[in-house]
Structure 1
């Protein structure tokens, strides 16, 4: 079994490989061929590989085993991994856990308690909202409430949800139908929208917001130009992810659609709850009609702020948990393809259901913990965004730029945590480890094996983020235009415009990210699996390996050297 584990997942010896002459300005070597006697220790190839390059030259130095470059305790693959021999073997039997247990249980219990708190706040405020529904109006107009959000805002969020749903699903289908053009399309649309938004705000003499979005537009254009040389590599990875998604026993498109619908339903629930908090506890201004919901109820602005902060935090945590659960489920499916598709039994039977079952049972607490960290960071970024837009609405350029810079630092922190989470959850999907050990082990392994270089050169993650921001921009712009054209009484002087735009941006961003999570999850899992066992890519998926080498020759110096 130890010999099998070594061969299956941990080929740790340096091979003297033939040196090829320079072709142009690029060192190019052909893709390695499957070694003879897979499952046994082997030396350098005795026969020249067929393919590209100059004539093969035998190495002059005798083969000398090297010390392994990767000294971390290997994961359970190679010990508990059992390639399926027939169609009857399940995901749980293929990727076994030695001692099934619920990891990070405290985080799971805290998540459940937070969700129950959200349900309680939502139930109470929605009851009060429905009780005094006539005071808040029955549509866009006709509300006696001129001091807080009302039914006018509910209609706005309904429009935002529809726009986010349509554009998010269309964006996902575009990735499926126009895979080669997808990266180019995303970059161009994102740059065009950023420039158009900045121009519109400057035209409306909103100087603070216009300058901020102009800076975003310049940054987006510079990033897109710098990404052009790496687009072919991203296209190959994206095409491979989509090819896997179309296979039998894989339900990636279904997972994306169901997950996106769930995020839209929760977004509607969150939006109505947010409005209900304002209508239930916001005290009326002097000269306004008294808030009937405040009779004997102790309304105050402090209570509104406290409840809004709580439901926003809960909303972030729930949506992050949903995205990470989808990510972990899809990671189990793509891991099954990588390790099993080339074996006699193929992908395990019920891989999707098995991965989902593990994500919602043994790994529930670990997913909750990783989602909690991201939710806290996003809360800070949301507060910074609201403050930035308030400064922009008041024409304070210095304050706007200061909060913009602070938001960038928070965004970098969010990127770092999200980066670690993506690969840690791929580890958790297959081996059921606790969150912190999985994050440490996966990150150390990827650094030691050089796979982080592949990750940094792959643009799929940034492209999906740009697509989500595109939908979020549309949602925020729709909110602004809606408030400008309907002129609700509560928004005199654009008092609530920054808050509503920030929440519209949040809703659009989270919905689109949920739809596109399965795409990024598949590619992340392929990278992690290649770090665990690069030989499987060469032996079981030779077509994918050759296409990868063709557009990214450096992969031969990274992966085969481990």
Structure 2
């Protein structure tokens, strides 16, 4: 008598002990297994097709590629997701469909307006730089001509700031790669201490309102730790996945380096153009003689042309910087889509980074200019409001300007958040900015607080890096001024402005440098929302974190046959 293995209903089969030569006929086949349990919102959608498959004699599948693997699997890193729905379409097919059709330039009007703005800025740059003192561009090997701020010493000083900011930014990216978890915790409490420290400073100088507000916000942020801490393991997995993708596609770092250089050069150029606007626009100044209450004569000068030019230069600066940063963001997001939606390295492009960059600078460039234009307009109005709040002697006008600045700051933050995710969809599918914004609203409405928590925790890491880089640049500026001792700073009147300029330069450079991580985190989150099956295949560790911390949305299925030596409990513990 032949002995057969015991029944194993787990995989839908049953063996029977009977004599194959003299025994009776085998019993009828067992009833089909119950349908897989999908989330309630999907159950009605998948049930009819599942029933149809049963009637046609097909067995339910438990994942992709059930064949025996050619090499032994590493059980410690293997993650197996719930079966694909019967009508499941991989996101890679959507990408191929969107990109195989005839390419279409989106939001062309915004791209044309941006190019016209860039041309006007170039014209002003030529006019204003030519008005600068010629001594600034002459160097005879000594510091004899550093009695003016516009000197070769100032150019060298700016170069030092840029080099320090660049080196610190790269070092911080390397640090994140090795200690992602501790940096998340340190950055959270660093933000708390920074807020409380600012409040304590304002209280010390008797600015009571600002001090109390910052202290309250700092304490509330500290209490939010009990809510945010449950998201830290998932954010850690996302951060490690992002750094892993950046390590796999090293071209993202070279592209980031290129954008750091471009943004730094533009910042230096804009500074020179702004400095040259003073001597060039002085000829449009009109002055009048007036008398005060004591009968003393004083001169009052106004220059409407200069004010209008400065407003335009501020707008142009914000728009161009936003476009530079957004092109980098969109290109990097395209690389992450390639990594997650084509997990078996069957990429449709020879160089995913170059392909994504080409699309960002051509077909999607108008969408990028459109989103950047909205933010630039708000930032320009905020700059005007801040200037009025600090310069107007009318107390009522100051209060109104401060309120306007606060309201616009909130609006800017919301629009920035939406446009960052909209650019992800622009990069993935080549849609217009409006269509991408609609997709962003749908995604955020389904993910809710998860996206905000993930962005907040990772944003703390990037903010800590930006503050660290800006602080070191400010320290380098102070050391440089103290050691070189330029003649124009003999009284020390330029020290504080130079330190502030260095701080802002370092902050700008670090912001561009950490865009790779910020872009990768947002792109990873969208990839999970679009197709978590492909993400599970591309990054098992991230999939394990998803199933562990979001079991109601991402469930592990039963093990495949070639891992049948593990029971269900052991298998689920592998994640």
Cα distance in 2 for partners of 1:97, 1:213 equals 57
The match for 1:470 is 467
Is the alpha carbon distance of 1:222 and 1:167 closer, same or farther for their aligned partners in structure 2, counting shifts above 3 Å?
Answer: farther
Cα distance in 1 for partners of 2:154, 2:108 equals 38
SS in 2 for 1:246: helix
Contact 1:366 1:435 in 2 (8 A): yes
The match for 1:47 is none
Contact 1:319 1:510 in 2 (8 A): no
Cα distance in 2 for partners of 1:372, 1:433 equals 17
Cα distance in 1 for partners of 2:321, 2:162 equals 15
The match for 2:448 is 452
Contact 1:464 1:520 in 2 (8 A): no
Select the residue among 99, 104, 109 that pairs with 2:107: 104
Select the residue among 325, 340, 344 that pairs with 1:338: 340
Cα distance in 1 for partners of 2:304, 2:169 equals 36
The match for 1:305 is 307
Instruction: Decide which structure has the larger Cα Rg and report it.
Output: 2
The match for 1:510 is 508
The 5-angstrom pairing of residues 77-476 of structure 1 reads: 77=91, 80-82=94-96, 96-131=99-134, 133=136, 142-143=147-148, 160-193=161-194, 212=210, 215-216=213-214, 219-220=217-218, 222-227=220-225, 228-229=228-229, 230-247=231-248, 249-282=249-282, 301-341=303-343, 343=344, 345=346, 348-388=349-389, 405-447=403-445, 450-458=446-454, 459-464=456-461, 466-467=463-464, 470=467, 474=471
The match for 1:44 is none
Spell out, residue by residue over 1:19-39, the C-alpha distance to the aligned partner (whole angstroms, 9 max, x if none): xxxxxxxxxxxxxxx953659
SS in 2 for 1:321: helix
The match for 2:53 is none
Spell out, residue by residue over 1:129-160, the C-alpha distance to the aligned partner (whole angstroms, 9 max, x if none): 0447599x9799623x9xxx988976775565
Cα distance in 2 for partners of 1:408, 1:492 equals 37
Is the alpha carbon distance of 1:480 and 1:336 closer, same or farther for their aligned partners in structure 2, counting shifts above 3 Å?
Answer: closer
SS in 2 for 1:440: helix
The match for 1:87 is none
Is the alpha carbon distance of 1:192 and 1:541 closer, same or farther for their aligned partners in structure 2, counting shifts above 3 Å?
Answer: closer
The match for 2:291 is none
Contact 2:199 2:215 in 1 (8 A): yes
Cα distance in 1 for partners of 2:495, 2:131 equals 22
Contact 1:281 1:300 in 2 (8 A): no
Is the alpha carbon distance of 1:157 and 1:139 closer, same or farther for their aligned partners in structure 2, counting shifts above 3 Å?
Answer: farther
Cα distance in 2 for partners of 1:452, 1:127 equals 53
Is the alpha carbon distance of 1:453 and 1:252 closer, same or farther for their aligned partners in structure 2, counting shifts above 3 Å?
Answer: same
Contact 1:97 1:432 in 2 (8 A): no
The match for 1:36 is 62
Cα distance in 2 for partners of 1:400, 1:161 equals 35
Cα distance in 2 for partners of 1:445, 1:109 equals 30
Unaligned runs of 5+ in 1: 1-10, 18-33, 40-49, 52-64, 69-73, 83-93, 287-298, 558-562
Cα distance in 2 for partners of 1:281, 1:496 equals 26
Question: Cα distance, 1:506 vs. partner?
Answer: 5.2
Contact 1:245 1:252 in 2 (8 A): yes
Q: Structure 1 residues 149-158 or 415-424, which shifts more?
A: 149-158
Spell out, residue by residue over 1:155-189, the C-alpha distance to the aligned partner (whole angstroms, 9 max, x if none): 77556545543443333333223212222333344
Cα distance in 1 for partners of 2:479, 2:403 equals 28
Question: Over the residues paired in the alignment, what is the CA RMSD in angstroms?
Answer: 4.8
Q: Structure 1 residues 536-545 or 408-417, which shifts more?
A: 536-545
Contact 1:114 1:314 in 2 (8 A): yes
Unaligned runs of 5+ in 2: 1-39, 47-59, 66-74, 77-84, 288-300, 556-575
Spell out, residue by residue over 1:358-397, the C-alpha distance to the aligned partner (whole angstroms, 9 max, x if none): 1111111111111111111222233344455558xx9x99
The match for 2:519 is 521
Select the residue among 528, 539, 542 that pairs with 2:540: 542
Is the alpha carbon distance of 1:516 and 1:178 closer, same or farther for their aligned partners in structure 2, counting shifts above 3 Å?
Answer: same
Cα distance in 1 for partners of 2:395, 2:492 equals 18
Contact 1:259 1:514 in 2 (8 A): yes
Question: Cα distance, 1:267 vs. partner?
Answer: 1.3
Contact 1:150 1:275 in 2 (8 A): no
Question: Cα distance, 1:77 vs. partner?
Answer: 4.5
Question: Cα distance, 1:270 vs. partner?
Answer: 1.4
Cα distance in 2 for partners of 1:417, 1:139 equals 50
SS in 1 for 2:554: helix
Spell out, residue by residue over 1:92-116, the C-alpha distance to the aligned partner (whole angstroms, 9 max, x if none): xx86242212111111111111111
Contact 2:103 2:363 in 1 (8 A): yes
Cα distance in 1 for partners of 2:533, 2:62 equals 12
SS in 2 for 1:407: helix
Cα distance in 1 for partners of 2:372, 2:318 equals 9
Cα distance in 2 for partners of 1:110, 1:154 equals 32
Contact 2:325 2:512 in 1 (8 A): yes
Q: How many residues align?
A: 463
The 5-angstrom pairing of residues 68-83 of structure 1 reads: 77=91, 80-82=94-96
